[in-house]
Structure 1
Amino acid sequence: MTKSLSARPRPGFATFEPEPRRDYLDADGEIDFVALQASPDFQRLRRRAVRFALPATVLFLVWYLTYVLLSAYAPGFMSQPVFGAVNVGLLFGMLQFVSTVVITLLYGRYAKRRVDPEVDAVRALVDQR
């Protein structure tokens, strides 16, 4: 018989056996957070969370800084009426609240679809407790 046919199959490699779970608990049964943080599932969770949070934060800060700088250095532009007693500055100020709500709703949707499944995967690593 050839070596490839007589070799004992390793779990998770060309077999239907699941990959053995790595133990993320220390000798006392407590979670080993350093090992858990180094796990591929946790790293994927961090990437997923940062993938939305970083661009959204940068975008919002640029939008807010633009509002503040226009208020300070372009009062003529900010005081132009849009309709009735509403001027550009007031409109931009109200849009700050709108953008905050929109970002919050978008993050909730993103977290439910992309982040929460990763949280469940990381949680499953230590559910053997």
Structure 2
Amino acid sequence: MTAAFFLWYALYVIMSAYARGFMDTKVVGHINVALVFGLLQFVSTFLIAWLYSRFAARQVDPLADKIAHEIAEKGDTA
């Protein structure tokens, strides 16, 4: 996911630098392709954060709780 986001961001930056004509293409009114790409950067960032938080809540947090419980049990018997 990190590599995909980095490539997506790099594409945005490279196109902003070298494909100015395309990025300046009007989509609706004064909104151009560059603005749409820029806003999609925010959308993809929040989507990745949301997906990771779901993954962490379902996969990582239960494992961390199990480890913490095992450590606590060992501490009580020592």
Query: TM > 0.5 between the two?
Result: yes
Who is 1:107 aligned against?
52
Q: Deviations over 1:56-80 (max 9, x none)?
A: 2111111100100100111011000
Q: Deviations over 1:33-53 (max 9, x none)?
A: xxxxxxxxxxxxxxxxxxxxx
Name the structure, 1 or 2, with higher relative contact order (CA <8 Å, separation 6+). Answer: 1
Who is 1:88 aligned against?
33
Whole-Å separation in 1 of the counterparts to 2:69 and 2:6: 36
- Counting aligned pairs with the same residue, the percent is 49
Name the structure with the higher helix share: 2
Kindly name which structure, 1 or 2, has the bigger radius of gyration based on alpha carbons: 1
> Under a length normalisation based on structure 1, what TM-score does the superposition of the two structures give?
0.55
Whole-Å separation in 2 of the counterparts to 1:107 and 1:66: 23
Task: Show structure 2 runs of 5+ residues with no match.
Answer: none
Q: Quote how far apart the aligned CAs of 1:125 are.
A: 2.6
* Aligned mate of 2:17, from 69, 72, 88: 72
What's the RMSD between the two structures over aligned residues?
Answer: 0.9
4+ long deviations beyond 3 Å: none
**Amino acid paired to 1:108:** S
* Aligned mate of 2:42, from 93, 97, 117: 97
